[in-house]
Amino acid sequence: MPTYTLSLTPLDLAPGTPIRQPPRRPLETVTADSPAIVVMTDLRQTRPVTVAPQTTVGTALSIMIHANVRLLLVLDAEHAICGLVAARDLGGERPLRVATEARIPYDQVTVGHVMTGVDEMRPLGLAQVRTASVRDVVRHLATSKRQHALVLEGSEEIGYVARGILSATQIGRQLGQEVAVDDGSVNSFAELERLIA
């Protein structure tokens, strides 16, 4: 049986050749009473940026900058979630405090030293998020004093899997106003209502 081959001829790529890609979808504008699911980053559609706990703080910051994200999922050797690390954890006083207390050079401080471990996370269930409002999510983030919340979905095989991320920054963009929840600025439900009114 004869084998046929096709000779491929390369094209000339002119400077300034654009890329064809789908248009960016504008963020859906929401109100405090909108369903919370519309502000969740769905991990089935958006691949999260991940690091290992051994990654240095400096490297993790570079990864965030290049990926244009403010949160990294921290995965162990088996690719299971062992923590979350936000830009605030990497750029704040936490790494300096770790370096001082552990008596190690600053450039040896790792993500594992400064991340929010699984024991400190306050994840939400996907079923809850589907029935909650944006106001409910902001209240959860404010009482947790966290910028982000992981959303878990039940899995028959392994219990839970990470399904989404809720971000105060993302919610703020979609609300059209800043949502500051992790700096202690929301101390009462009255302040919360003012924040998302």
CATH of the domain at 43: 3.10.580.10
The total domain count for the chain is 1
Residue 114 lies in a domain: yes
Residue 19 lies in a domain: no
Residue 14 lies in a domain: no
Residue 65 lies in a domain: yes
The residue with greater pLDDT, 177 or 61, is 61
d(CA 111, CA 74): 8
Least confident of 62-66, 90-94, 160-164, 171-175: 90-94
Residue-level pLDDT at 28: 72
Arithmetic mean of pLDDT, 79-95: 89
Residue listed under structure tokens 């302040």: 191
Residue 187 pLDDT class (50, 70, 90 cuts): very low
Residue listed under structure tokens 């965030």: 64
Give residue 172's domain range: 36-196
Residue-level pLDDT at 182: 60
Residue 17 lies in a domain: no
29 pLDDT above the threshold of 90: no
Residue 30 lies in a domain: no
Residues whose CB is less than 8 angstroms from the CB of residue 150 and which lie 6 or more positions away in sequence, other chains included: 81, 84, 121, 123, 124, 162, 164, 165
d(CA 40, CA 151): 8
190 pLDDT above the threshold of 60: no
Decide: 62 and 191 in contact? Cβ < 8 Å. Answer: no
Residue 156 lies in a domain: yes
Cα dihedral: 133, 138, 143, 149 (round 10): 90
Residue 157, helix vs strand vs coil: coil
Residue 194 pLDDT class (50, 70, 90 cuts): low
Residue 149 lies in a domain: yes
Arithmetic mean of pLDDT, 78-84: 93
Arithmetic mean of pLDDT, 44-72: 94
145 pLDDT above the threshold of 70: yes
Residue 76 pLDDT class (50, 70, 90 cuts): very high
Residues whose CB is less than 8 angstroms from the CB of residue 32 and which lie 6 or more positions away in sequence, other chains included: 133, 134, 135, 138, 175, 196, 197
What's the chain's average pLDDT? Answer: 85
